[in-house]
Structure 1
């Protein structure tokens, strides 16, 4: 009726199906339809099929299959960085589950709620009820899981790439079991995620997924290349660190470019400079498959809540290059302040740095390991290489901070430092050009570590070439060129080429003398090395005279604690040992040991070096028992910092054997 109140034509409440609404017999007609949600969303619950045979995961798959067969009600969680092969393992388990007659559902990120509700509808749940509950996630999850727990046959439910745990439960941690992720006695729940925090998933069973090794890695590479493993496959797989995504992409690249890469060696040669070149090879092949850089960017995006984490990752990619372990003591907050990691809403402090480092570990970008009884961080070499390739405009700043941290504790961790200096030199050269002074200085730091690590032959070759390049690019009296010349002399000295070494040092000393200020501490260092040449020749009086000259010239401008003066005192004490002046040597060495331990710490190789001469003095002057104890400590210290095969470590063990033999003779003599 025309004058009827409008409320007579109003509908309140939930709408199911369609409603025909007309204003009057002559007016407009409206058809209202309920918008379905939940299980009517466009979701795909089909599991992917592995592209190739799954290799190297037998033990992991056995554990997962055992949990599934044994009715373990806990969710099973596969953790690891992107590209490590978590989804491949899950797909293989899904294939096996289907073969056993289990119902399999595969839930992808972004559609968790709709997918679980769809699974519940497939089990007989009312679709209208699912749609009605979709707006109340807690009630919807409880309704869906009641149906899953009552299923007629066992099932496997996979939550793949659950890298945002809040999607599984926005209000609580997923492991609490009150959201979309729950355990069930009727089926098995499997999660793949970059988030490896046990507290997030407890009481779930966590299974770290590791890189592939040896023959398995080479076989995966060959599978994706569509060829049998042949010469170069094992080497290329090792170059790629057994990282499954890299192996798959390299195999695809080889299959797609048979003319360019007829074999694994040719592809390996192409990737020797940078493994990230794989992305350029596979990008034109079409499809939306993952790339190394893209996979890393996805992991880094998850760090957005911890602003210090990404710049710390950049820094670790340099300090921990080639998979080297970076002790946490190499990342003091006092030195991180003012660098790229010092970002965020507040100042960088111990708690903020700990949160950032923990975020890297939780998201699979860094592993926390124990090395010689202390905690360290390790990046997979391929992750570090990919990070360095993407530094862009931040490369110079990251390299500068890495160098600052390395200079703060030189020669404390030679293996780590050598890899770090190689990475810094590479970044410097790429950003500045190979002949830039900063790039050449970084290359010098890199090649100097060859001497520290006990490879003077390789050091001589590298430093001779570098000195020549520096002199040509910068001039013979540029500080970088002079330092290169000095280090070349050190390599010659270690090789016993004494005349050549002395010639290099004298030329350097004269060149530095022509500089304003007389060359400073570097000139004294050259004079010190000339004295060392005299020691190696056996001319102890001449050597002692030159060491005293170093001490006299450097005492006032540099102070007694200067490294060159400390070494001069130590070597002067060595000449006293050889001349039979035990008390003089003992007094000097005691002071040198005390200063070095104060400056560097008792475990530093420089402090251990000084204690070596203390033990030598004891051995030379008849105290074999004390020498045994001293050389044992020195050998242990050098083995820890330099390695068991380092020349210094071998020398200490030889001296230890001599001391033990002499102590045994002395003991036998006393008994007789």
Structure 2
């Protein structure tokens, strides 16, 4: 019996028939015709003892569901695999291993390459499901039959009377046709440990798909790791399903939320594309996705879907079940612990055995003790559920070994932690961070640890808040500590992220701590240049603190000071003076004239007065303030540096350039030593020095200093931060003075456009930029 079939057609019939003792196998000539022939497969697998065994319907038909979306972003890999399969020389084509995390598209790659090789070239395709010993052995014996083995030979191999692997490879090595043998879903390499099952052949290529990318058995195979898609390709996948919403920004947000994970994209796209009676927008889908990602994603599966690899809720569990069979039940608890943190690289030292044993994870189910942690981590790595990588350390420091997992994996695992296990796991996660990041009151953790652990602290707080866990308070304490240290280091972007997390956790509170969270978030907003938002939040915090704590409470006065700084950034100098004067006078009265906070408020007050042109009054305030600060705090105290730079700025604006230059150079030198060369206050001192050098017509040094500040600010703050725009305008002035008018025009034209959009047309920074632009273009208009 023959039946015509169009190769590579999605509608091509896939013959399916049960195989019993005298069942059927289907044989095809390059998938052009399906030819029925009989083979006799006994009811037992010999040593396997499977009394109800049935072999595959056909090893010529891939035992994988056809894709609804074309494969994306795998072009180089497909070309490399096809080149190996089609090698022109009669040399062994080798074993190729495509490995990666569950759902990343390994089978889809193999299926596409299979179709390309069989449908367009003189290659015989053979497909074996290698997910279990039963299916693998049955499939390989069917391959032997396909390549010409007699039924008696197959029966003997199956019954253990002759080596099964030798039989299969005897006929593969003597195949008249070139072949491609796909061993799909080979996630448990132990299946191949019987000697001789995995070999190279001069007649074909073996393509293995697996989650287990590092098994010793794969030694010598060509390894092809497979990750997630690029965002642009992920959006294309969603568009393939006709999701109804062609807003590329919204689809990009959805793709990002799904971590560009191929299976998740397919499920999301399927669901969105099939909602006919009551269409669901991408925005609505995203809202649902945040609450229970695995359940929402599985809505896109076919009704009654039985292939667990095509369900997000179970695809990770298959790997955990395999690890459990290998004697590693602890991997479940380790993965749950990791799901409390962010998908960023997590320093592996956090999971050191003594730290784990100091938590209650030994009472978790499954229990996790320190002596089992390393084996559990390596087990997760073996199934591609996590990766281990070395992250570069800070300058002069060694690399850091880290553990990392995909965001979607962490979200779905976290959402499905049993209720009776959540507090144990979340509290342990908080204790681990607290142990590692604990410092004495006068010490900060190193900047490298701050950089690596900040995202994990915010993720932990978010998880703890959403579950009302006992871990909330310790997690909040960790986030607040890191926020304080980030701000002190001048890392305002990190302080802002931590501040947002803390504020979200205490949003409904009216306690001093909750108000402090809002205050700190507003300070971070000022640091990142979002002055209007900062001013609004500071005003709200000031009013609430005044009501709750009183007008002269130190926290209330701190809010008045911080509000003044935000207003200064907006160019509202009179209002700045009003609030800064309140802070300075109140702090002097409550804290004393030599308190660091008092001295800082007085220095900032002198700048607000100076910005309004009252230079003598401002100097009369700034000069004695610096003297008090030097006497009370020392010449290199950060608040003394602030007082010194304030006086230097006033003197430079009042044409006392020599003294201003001396003070500015001293401040730059001390700030570099005390705060660091890239601290925002150090950059402010360098900015001022560049301005003084400009006024002294010292063009060469002024340009050098200004370019240095501009490069660092753009790298740290971004190209549109108000301070970045300010130094670019100053650099343009310097270039005009140095005779580089064309460079100045190009620079200031762009800066003026951005400044107008970011700050507004009437902001002092924009007005200054417009003045520089007019100077740069004056020669053209003359």
Same fold flag (TM > 0.5): yes
Contact 1:183 1:189 in 2 (8 A): yes
**Distance in 2 separating the partners of 1:519 and 1:298:** 66
Aligned match of 2:269 = 251
**Distance in 1 separating the partners of 2:348 and 2:676:** 16
Contact 1:169 1:180 in 2 (8 A): yes
Deviation of the 1:52 alpha carbon:
0.5
Contact 1:308 1:341 in 2 (8 A): no
Q: Please point out which of 602, 622, 630 is paired with 1:527.
A: 602
Matched, 1:64 2:81: yes
**Distance in 2 separating the partners of 1:158 and 1:483:** 68
Contact 1:464 1:488 in 2 (8 A): yes
Aligned match of 1:565 = 640
Contact 2:103 2:261 in 1 (8 A): yes
Moved more, 285-294 or 457-466: 285-294
1:397–1:182 Cα change, 3 Å: farther
**Distance in 2 separating the partners of 1:457 and 1:413:** 20
Deviation of the 1:457 alpha carbon:
2.9
**Distance in 2 separating the partners of 1:398 and 1:490:** 30
Corresponding residue SS for 2:706:
helix
Matched, 1:119 2:140: yes
CA RMSD in angstroms, aligned pairs only? 5.1
Corresponding residue SS for 2:245:
coil
Aligned match of 1:454 = 529
Q: Please point out which of 187, 204, 209 is paired with 2:204.
A: 187
1:516–1:194 Cα change, 3 Å: farther
Q: Please point out which of 214, 231, 256 is paired with 1:213.
A: 231
Aligned match of 2:716 = 641
Q: Please point out which of 221, 230, 251 is paired with 1:236.
A: 251
Aligned match of 2:70 = 54
1:75-224 equivalences under 5 Å are: 75-97=95-117, 99=119, 102-109=124-131, 111=132, 115-116=136-137, 118-124=139-145, 126-127=153-154, 130-131=157-158, 144-161=168-185, 166-167=189-190, 181-193=198-210, 203-214=221-232, 216-224=233-241
Deviation of the 1:588 alpha carbon:
3.1
**Distance in 2 separating the partners of 1:292 and 1:590:** 60
Contact 1:540 1:575 in 2 (8 A): yes
Deviation of the 1:62 alpha carbon:
3.9
1:536–1:370 Cα change, 3 Å: farther
**Distance in 1 separating the partners of 2:204 and 2:522:** 58
Corresponding residue SS for 1:105:
strand
User: Residues 390-423 of structure 1: CA distance to partner in whole angstroms, max 9, x if unpaired?
Assistant: 5654565555445545544546655565445445
**Distance in 2 separating the partners of 1:507 and 1:542:** 17
1:514–1:360 Cα change, 3 Å: farther
**Distance in 2 separating the partners of 1:490 and 1:80:** 51
Matched, 1:615 2:704: no
**Distance in 2 separating the partners of 1:305 and 1:571:** 57
Contact 1:76 1:191 in 2 (8 A): yes
Moved more, 514-523 or 46-55: 514-523
1:306–1:570 Cα change, 3 Å: farther
Aligned match of 1:627 = 702
User: Residues 180-210 of structure 1: CA distance to partner in whole angstroms, max 9, x if unpaired?
Assistant: 5554443333344556669976651425433
Matched, 1:538 2:559: no
**Distance in 2 separating the partners of 1:463 and 1:201:** 61
Contact 2:339 2:411 in 1 (8 A): no
**Distance in 2 separating the partners of 1:64 and 1:475:** 73
Q: Please point out which of 547, 561, 564 is paired with 1:489.
A: 564
Contact 1:612 1:634 in 2 (8 A): yes
1:309–1:267 Cα change, 3 Å: closer
Aligned match of 2:16 = none
Deviation of the 1:509 alpha carbon:
4.7
**Distance in 2 separating the partners of 1:546 and 1:300:** 68
Moved more, 448-457 or 634-643: 448-457
**Distance in 2 separating the partners of 1:553 and 1:384:** 54
**Distance in 1 separating the partners of 2:649 and 2:348:** 36
Moved more, 529-538 or 582-591: 582-591
User: Residues 490-542 of structure 1: CA distance to partner in whole angstroms, max 9, x if unpaired?
Assistant: 22210111222233334445665676789954444433332231232233333
1:585–1:559 Cα change, 3 Å: same
Aligned match of 1:13 = none
TM-score norm. by structure 2 comes to 0.62
Q: Please point out which of 576, 583, 605 is paired with 1:501.
A: 576
Contact 1:163 1:194 in 2 (8 A): yes
**Distance in 2 separating the partners of 1:341 and 1:421:** 31
1:581–1:244 Cα change, 3 Å: same
1:59–1:132 Cα change, 3 Å: same
1:648–1:309 Cα change, 3 Å: farther
User: Residues 299-335 of structure 1: CA distance to partner in whole angstroms, max 9, x if unpaired?
Assistant: 8998967998976774444xx5xxxxx8x9xx79799
Corresponding residue SS for 1:641:
helix
**Distance in 2 separating the partners of 1:612 and 1:335:** 44
Deviation of the 1:637 alpha carbon:
1.5
Aligned match of 2:426 = none
User: Residues 605-627 of structure 1: CA distance to partner in whole angstroms, max 9, x if unpaired?
Assistant: 43333222232232222322111
What runs of 5+ residues in structure 1 fail to find an aligned partner?
A: 1-32, 172-177, 321-325, 667-672
1:529-608 equivalences under 5 Å are: 529-548=604-623, 550-551=625-626, 559-608=634-683
Contact 1:106 1:157 in 2 (8 A): yes
Aligned match of 1:279 = 294
TM-score norm. by structure 1 comes to 0.70
1:162–1:34 Cα change, 3 Å: closer
Corresponding residue SS for 1:206:
strand
Aligned match of 1:662 = 737
